[in-house]
Structures are given as structure tokens and as C-alpha cells.
Homo-oligomer: A and B are copies of this chain.
């Protein structure tokens, strides 16, 4: 075997510049509290290995969608980020208003009008111990990137899911949006292995919990919109908004009711419609669960309607959209 080269700092910089990662054309801008600024060169979208986010998963995150040059639901996403940080005992490195400004300025520096903006609060760099006492200060990182689009067939034909065998996180951890996502990763891999698109976590009591990075909702045959309560799963920002849409559909007589309560697996399987809901997937119909059809096995009308409402909301709900301060 060849001897591993020992690099000078200049060679390390050259190595970063030449790495495959540096050639990514879908990473547009990164803010790092480590150097206190924004970079647009992917080669330097890096963070210290000693950051406790990297080696201990002591970090929380959130993502806002950049659409038509505006950030959709930035404030509820920031509120949840701060709530997650509290749960993970990460002190804010800056006041909320400054975090918000940095997110907006990083979005502006990206010059993109469509994409995703994700941001992390971390216990910060400082060493390789377990507790954050050694950390010099908590960290904040922001990335603007173009997410991989979900296939069109997800919406036209619908998604297939399986019941995951991966154990669900204990409620305390399911409610914190931390970077401890190994269970979520394994659910996706398990689903692909079994010829499905995604998996559904079922809790110890046999109740529907959530999907890998999405919430799971149903429409019953008597037109009730059903979702589990949020005590043992992540409270999705998108599902919260979709619950408002569903309420509007009740007011218009399209749905009979919205009901947040435990959903036994058998009730879910007997639903007229099933859907996955999240900021990346929006509202997508599930047509097959463990090889069994949901409803008639085709995307249902309420799911389609909710997706339409989401699409409209991201374009026109001015109270949900924050303008990005692009340079002239």
C-alpha cells in the first residue's frame, strides 16, 4: 500500500479545492459562525471535525423552502429550531433576530430564487469530549442548496410504503429535530430494499407514528382527515399548515372533520387516502402499504387538493413568505 501523504496547509487547501465535493454545482452559499461569514465556493463549505455536531450529533436543524425568491414559513421553522435547541441544551450563539438575518443574507448571497435553505445550531467546536463544556461557543451553519427533486411519478401514480422494522426513537428524541438521523436513514434504505419508496414507523402500541422525514396522514372513507397527535413524533411545520388547509376543506364541506388522535395500523390500512407530508415532499399520495392498496390504489382527490393548496400558499400567502434581500 502507498504511504499516506502528510500535507502542508497549502496542500490541504489544494486538496479541498480538488475534491469531488468542491465540484458540486448544487451548493450555492454557506454561512459559518467559525469564520463569521458566507462562502460561495463549495470547496470551503466545511466545518471543523471537532465540532460536536460532527462527532456527537449534538446539533439541531431546520429547513425552509426558497420559492419565487422568498422563504416560505421561515418564522415557524426558526421557532422550531430554537425549541429543538432548547431540548438538546444548545445555547443560541446569537439572538433569534440575528439568526434570522443570517439565514436571509445567506439566501441572498446564493442568488438563487428556488431551492432549500437549511440551518444548524450546534454545541460547537472545541474538542472531542462528550459534554459541551469544552466547546468555545455554540455554532451556526447555513446552507443554500438545490435538493434532488422527487420523481414525478410520486405525485402522478403515488408512493409505495412499507411498515418499517427499524425501532422508532423514544418520544423525547422524536420531538427534537436533531442530527441523530441514523434511524431515519435506515428506514429509507429498508424501504428501497423492499421495493418501496419509504417506510412508516409504528410505535410499540401498534399506532402509526411518522415516516423517515415526513408526517403521515389519512382520509377515512367518511371523509375525516386523520393524523396522529404530536406527543411522540416530530411536529412538522408543513403538516401544521396542511391541518389548516384541511380545516378550510371542512368549512367548505369537502371534508367532514379533522381529527388528531392515535391511528391504529388497521384503521390506516382501511383509509380512503393516505399521504406523506413534509417541506421537501410537500403533499404526496401513498397508494400502496406493505403491498396492499390504499383506497382504490390511485392518488385521491383530497391529497391532490391539499397539494394544490400548498402550491398556492407558497406563491401567494404573503403572511407565510419572507422576501430575500438580494443584492441589486
Contact A182 B57 (CB under 8 A): yes
Q: Mark A31-65, 1 if CB is under 8 A from B, else 0.
A: 11011111111011111111011111110010000
Say how far A299's CB is from chain B's closest CB, in angstroms. Answer: 23
Determine, out of A143-151, A253-261, A268-276, A308-316, the stretch whose residues face the partner at the interface: A143-151
By beta carbon, the residue of chain B nearest A97 is B1
Q: Mark A14-30, 1 if CB is under 8 A from B, else 0.
A: 11111111001011011
Contact A173 B181 (CB under 8 A): no
A317 in contact (CB, < 8 A) = no
Determine, out of A2-10, A74-82, A220-228, A283-291, the stretch whose residues face the partner at the interface: A2-10
Q: Mark A191-229, 1 if CB is under 8 A from B, else 0.
A: 010000000000000000000110000000000000000
Say how far A137's CB is from chain B's closest CB, in angstroms. Answer: 8
Count contacts on A: residues with CB < 8 A to the other chain: 102
Chain B residues whose C-beta falls within 8 Å of the C-beta of A40 in the assembled complex: 6
Contact for A15 among B26, B37, B98, B181, CB less than 8 A: B37
Chain B residues whose C-beta falls within 8 Å of the C-beta of A163 in the assembled complex: none
Chain B residues whose C-beta falls within 8 Å of the C-beta of A50 in the assembled complex: 21, 24, 27, 45, 143, 145
A318 in contact (CB, < 8 A) = no
CA distance A60 to B184 in the complex (A): 15
Chain B residues whose C-beta falls within 8 Å of the C-beta of A52 in the assembled complex: 185
A263 in contact (CB, < 8 A) = no
Contact for A61 among B38, B47, B55, B173, CB less than 8 A: B55
Determine, out of A102-110, A153-161, A240-248, the stretch whose residues face the partner at the interface: A102-110
Given A21-B50, A58-B181, A166-B172, A15:B3 Cβ within 8 A: no
By beta carbon, the residue of chain B nearest A4 is B105
Contact B182 A58 (CB under 8 A): yes
Contact for A183 among B44, B101, B141, B173, CB less than 8 A: B173
Given A47-B47, A55-B120, A97-B1, A39:B7 Cβ within 8 A: yes
A176 in contact (CB, < 8 A) = yes
A249 in contact (CB, < 8 A) = no
A66 in contact (CB, < 8 A) = no
A167 in contact (CB, < 8 A) = yes
CA distance A132 to B98 in the complex (A): 33
A295 in contact (CB, < 8 A) = no
Show 26 residue pairs from A and B whose CB-CB distance is below 8 angstroms, ordered by the A residue. Answer: A4-B31, A4-B38, A4-B101, A5-B37, A5-B38, A7-B38, A9-B17, A15-B32, A15-B34, A15-B36, A18-B35, A19-B48, A20-B125, A20-B136, A21-B125, A30-B49, A45-B48, A47-B47, A55-B118, A57-B181, A58-B182, A130-B212, A131-B188, A131-B189, A131-B192, A168-B170
| Given A57-B180, A127-B148, 11 further pairs, Cβ under 8 A | A4-B101, A6-B109, A9-B43, A50-B143, A56-B184, A56-B185, A57-B57, A57-B179, A58-B182, A128-B145, A131-B192
